Amino acid sequence: MGSLKTLSGGLLLGLCLTLLGWGAEGQWDGHPKKEISGSGPINLGQQQRGTWWPLMQTRENLTEVKSIKSMFQFRTFDPEGVVFYGDTREGEDWFVLILRNGLPEMQIGKADILVSVQGGPKLNDGKWHLVEISSQGDFVVLEVDGQKALVVGLKSKETMEVLTGQIRLALGGILVSVDKLFLPFQPEMDGCIQKGNWLNLSTPWETELIGEPWPCYQNIQPGSYFPGAGLAAFNTTDLPGHQTEEGGITIDIHGDSTKMEGTVLSLNTPGQELPTVTVKINNNPKKVILTILKSDAITEQSFSRLSLTLLKNQVNMDIDDTHLTFEIDSIPDFPRSWKEGMILAFGGLPGDGVSYSSIQYLKGCLEKIQVQGQDVDLDRALYKDLSVSSHSCPSEV
């Protein structure tokens, strides 16, 4: 319980500080908006967790719209999230392009029709793809890299040609309420857009972003990136559980430990002041530190894969091919506590006031995080700091 309070407290504090920062710049007027270029690059990953509101939006009188096509380049490793939204009649007619399982999906609401279509190539391969969306009569057409990916026809006695009013476009969110969607989705998208051309309009876009827009990394690789400023935390009841008590719970971390510094993970039991288990990496000099309550176990090794197995009163750690076992009477019955709900954090210790004043956030890339052999998606965390990118790490090549 205490941990959850701290987590949301941390989130609020973070928000307040950024708002204060804005105020100091003298631009805070209760509803700050600023102009941003629609041609990009635009990093869609800079959205607060759980937000449906777009990162940026624009509107234009329909009488000004001469082109029927929007096109942009898009790059992501994220399998799910919202990319591009458009509507007319203030959201009466709308469409949204999202990814689900890496595939493009369009949902369209028009008059009494609600449509969802999915198909085309998987887009979440970390490469730039040219995406084009056009409205051609009764059809909406999605093209990817010059090939038709989806064509949706819509007809109803109630649809009418809309020639007046405004068209709104949005990136990284939607402007209709979530309950209008055909199928809900996880809105967060760790992706980048560049070279956007939106109906050939030159109207500026607006954003409520606080601070400077984030750049897009030149090159990315799959993984979760922790820049040393925050963590992501799960309630273990939201993660896969144990099949057998003897098998315990396994947490796997893949990545190059020589390029990490700080806390890789920590596991906290509610009501306990000390974290139950933490794994930290130091590279100067090189060591991996496993702490179980007050006991440290230090190995002077680097790894590309670290595996922790939590058993009843026992913790096993495998670093590449080295196997270590720790049995401590005072540690909890992990399989049981896991089912009851512990906090598993990646990239730091969920702070608890003074006792964690030297919180050592992780700086580095966790190329893969698995629990019980299943990939862990930080977009589904109980809490994720804005600085953490859930599906991409900067890479040198």
Ligand X SMILES: *[C@@H]1O[C@H](CO)[C@@H](O)[C@H](O)[C@H]1NC(C)=O
Is 231 one of the binding residues for ligand X (CB under 6 A)? Answer: no
Choose between 66 and 157: whose C-beta lies nearer to ligand X: 66
Q: State which residue, 68 or 289, has the beta carbon closest to ligand X.
A: 68
Please, is 60 exposed, middle or buried when counting C-beta atoms within 10 Å of its C-beta (0-12, 13-18, 19+)? middle
CA dihedral 105, 106, 107, 112 (to 10 degrees): -140
Q: Which of 32, 91, 227, 341 binds ligand X (CB under 6 A)?
A: 341
Residue 397 three-state SS: coil
220 versus 267: smaller Cβ distance to ligand X: 267
Number of residues that bind ligand X (CB under 6 A): 13
Q: How far is the CB of 377 from ligand X (least distance, A)?
A: 18
Question: Quick one: 272 or 316, whose CB is closer to ligand X?
Answer: 272
Q: Name which of 37 and 200 has its Cβ closer to ligand X.
A: 200
Does 270 bind ligand X (CB under 6 A)? Our answer is yes
Q: Is 90 an interacting residue with respect to ligand X (CB under 6 A)?
A: no
**61 is an interface residue for ligand X by CB under 6 A:** yes
Site mask, ligand X, residues 177-206, x = CB under 6 A? -----------------------x-x----
User: How far apart (Å, rounded) are the C-alpha atoms in residues 338 and 309?
Assistant: 12
By CB under 6 A, residue 4 contacts ligand X: yes
In the complex, what is the shortest distance from the CB of residue 360 to ligand X, in angstroms, rounded to a whole number?
Answer: 22
Question: SS3 of 13, please?
Answer: helix
Per CB under 6 A, which region of 48-56, 63-71, 113-121, 137-145 contacts ligand X?
63-71
Question: Smallest Cα–Cα separation from 34: which of 17, 52, 61, 58?
Answer: 58
Of the pair 32, 341, the CB lying nearest ligand X is at 341
* Of 318 and 333, CB closest to ligand X: 333
Element (H, E) at 337: helix 334-340
Q: Closest CB to ligand X among 122 and 195? A: 195
Phi, psi (deg, nearest 5) at residue 361: -65, 155
> With CB under 6 A as the contact rule, which of the stretches 11-19, 31-39, 59-67, 246-254 interacts with ligand X?
59-67
Coil vs helix vs strand at 21: helix
The span from the CA of 397 to the CA of 394, in Å, is: 9
Of the candidates 311, 270, 277, the residue with the CA atom closest to the CA atom of residue 292? 277
Verify binding: residue 228, ligand X, rule CB under 6 A. no
* Neighbour count for residue 210 (Cβ, 10 Å): 17
User: Is residue 269 part of the contact set for ligand X (CB under 6 A)?
Assistant: no
Residue 213 binds to ligand X (criterion: CB under 6 A): no
Nearer to ligand X, 167 or 306 (CB): 167
CA distance 101 to 228: 29
Exposed, middle or buried by CB within 10 Å (0-12, 13-18, 19+), for 287? middle
Taking the C-alpha atoms of residue 239 and residue 297, their distance in angstroms, rounded to an integer, is: 26
User: CA 191 to CA 386: how far, in whole Å?
Assistant: 14
- Comparing every residue's Cβ against ligand X, the nearest one is 341
Residue 74 CB, shortest distance to ligand X, in Å, is: 21
- Pick the binder of ligand X from 3, 257, 291, 387 (CB under 6 A): 3
Query: Count of alpha carbons within 13 Å of 257, Cβ hemisphere only?
Result: 26
Helix (H, G, I), strand (E, B) or coil at 90: helix
Among 343, 344, 345, 371, binds ligand X (CB under 6 A): 343
Determine the Cα angle at 222 with ends 220 and 226, to 5°. 80
Give the footprint of ligand X on residues 234-263 (CB under 6 A).
235, 237
Binding segment (CB under 6 A) for ligand X, from list 45-53, 64-72, 204-212, 302-310:
64-72
Q: Is 67 in the site for ligand X (CB under 6 A)?
A: yes
Q: How far apart (Å, rounded) are the C-alpha atoms in residues 245 and 312?
A: 7
What is the closest distance, in whole angstroms, from the C-beta atom of residue 63 to ligand X in the complex?
7
For ligand X, give the closer residue by CB, 227 or 270.
270
Q: Which residues bind ligand X (CB under 6 A)?
A: 3-4, 61, 64, 66-67, 200, 202, 235, 237, 270, 341, 343
